[in-house]
Copies of this chain bind each other. A is one copy, B any other.
């Protein structure tokens, strides 16, 4: 497969924005706010105004990127207006006299292992992930019992608009979230249903089923340890705990907030074997039993973001007889972007790329997506693969960091290349 550098026509839209003073009336509530909540809101230049009622607090801080101290008004309400924010979906939290909490004015989104608040800064290319007047598929909650983990698990499954009427079978994408997120991430933060509805309506993508699972899978007795980096409240003890370190959100205005091209968290660069075992023992058979699924590797893709990208590589590279389409969005294998940009192409990623012609004959698409602000690791990986003869597609999301707009765009570029 020929390597293609995908350019999307939005760079010109990000330009110098007017920094003139604007009245609070010009501040538009974020789309993620609870009903009737005016704050946080966004000015046309993407500065955001945050407000929170905390009449007796001594110190209130907005935890977003480098952080912003809020100031108290005469009404006991704390406010801050940020510098212009990069477009996209940003997790954030507030710190009130040392307590790290979600802003009560927004809906909450599971990320960094807890229910964060979030703000949505409209992207210039937002239409591709917006709910439009096209036929809509359906996202369904799908419970299944896992013999491997000895627990009930929940996935969400997207079925395309014609699923009920057409009575035909469909190819399937298995799609994983990132560290500290869960099976709700791709349809809530990611808008995967709207992206596919829009692509299918425009005849740019083949109708497909998308399975959004939870990558946290441990056997009885195995340590989960997936949320170790987050500040859970410890049990009573005489030992002072470490300060809370809830997920640091993106740098406002900013670059370089992402942790680079590789998946974060434990599990190592090749992810967790338990997830792979669970997937083939429990998840895939349940999906193929429950939905009208077209069989065989040419009708099966796997993709994931960040830690879910690392898991995707771990699962697929040792199962190339089962997947013809593979994607990592801000997450892959081999250590690129983590201080290891010139590894031995014969041995990295479990030796999957040691024989490029074999790999190319088995894999119809290897897709690597990244945010422009995440650093050159993924681009270097793509180029090293290309140089070694391994076909791949590289996609870079303009301006964005290790965030959901990167992954929405990456999926929007990945999906049209599937099952053709």
How many Å from the CB of A217 to the closest CB on chain B?
12
Q: Which of B96, B108, B131 contacts A115 (CB 8 A)?
A: B108
| Stretch of A5-13, A136-144, A268-276, A366-374 contacting B (4+ beta carbons < 8 Å) | A136-144
Q: Which of A73-81, A301-309, A348-356, A381-389 contacts B (4 or more CB under 8 A)?
A: A73-81
Contact B51 A233, beta carbon cutoff 8 Å: yes
Please encode chain A, from 227 to 265, with 1 for each CB lying within 8 Å of some chain B CB and 0 for all others.
100011111111111011010000000000000000000
Do B59 and A56 touch (CB < 8 A)? yes
A34-69 near B? 1/0 per residue, CB < 8 Å: 111111000000000001111111111000000000
Among A39, A152, A236, residue most surrounded by chain B Cβ atoms (within 10 Å)? A236
Q: Give the interface segment out of A97-105, A119-127, A326-334, A400-408.
A: A97-105
Asked whether A16 is an interface residue with its Cβ less than 8 Å from the other chain, the reply is no
Q: Smallest distance from the beta carbon of A266 to chain B beta carbons, Å?
A: 13
Q: Answer whether A54 and B240 are a contact pair too, CB < 8 Å, given A102-B102, A232-B36.
A: no
A285-296 near B? 1/0 per residue, CB < 8 Å: 000001000000
Asked if A114 lies at the interface with its beta carbon under 8 angstroms from chain B, I say yes
Copies of this polypeptide in the complex: 2
Chain B positions within 8 Å of A60 at CB level: 99
Query: B55–A290 contact, CB under 8 A?
Result: no
Q: Bound state CA distance, A63 and B405, in angstroms?
A: 37
Q: Is A145 an interface residue (CB 8 A)?
A: yes
Contact A224 B104, beta carbon cutoff 8 Å: no
- Asked if B152 and A143 make an inter-chain contact with CB atoms under 8 angstroms apart, the answer reads no
Chain B residues with Cβ below 8 Å from A101 are 94, 96, 99, 101-102, 104
Interface range on chain A (Cβ under 8 Å from partner): 35 or more
Residue contact A140 to B139, C-beta cutoff 8 Å: yes
Q: Determine if A191 is an interface residue (Cβ-Cβ < 8 Å).
A: no
Say if the beta carbon of A216 comes within 8 Å of chain B: yes
Q: Chain A: interface secondary structure?
A: loop
Contacts of A73 in B (CB 8 A): 236
Q: Which residues of A pack against B, CB within 8 Å?
A: 24, 34-39, 51-60, 73-77, 79, 94, 96-102, 104-108, 110, 113-115, 131, 133, 136, 138-143, 145, 152, 164, 187, 193, 216, 224, 226-227, 231-241, 243-244, 246, 290
CB distance from A47 to the nearest CB of B (A): 15
**Beta-carbon contact of A53 and B102 below 8 Å:** no
Residues of the B chain whose Cβ atoms lie less than 8 Å from the Cβ of A39: 233
Interchain CB contact (< 8 A) of A53 among B55, B224, B244? B244
CB within 8 Å for A290 and B164 given contacts A39-B233, A113-B34: yes
Q: Within 8 Å CB of A58, what residues of B?
A: 56, 58, 97
Beyond known contacts A35-B113, A73-B236: 11 more, CB 8 A cutoff: A34-B110, A34-B113, A35-B216, A35-B227, A36-B113, A57-B99, A75-B240, A107-B110, A108-B115, A131-B143, A141-B187
- Give A358 Cβ to nearest chain B Cβ, in Å: 39
Instruction: Please determine whether B97 and A56 come into contact, CB atoms closer than 8 angstroms.
Output: yes
CB of A34 within 8 A of CB of B115, answer yes
Contact A141-B138, Cβ < 8 Å, known A24-B236, A97-B58, A235-B24: yes
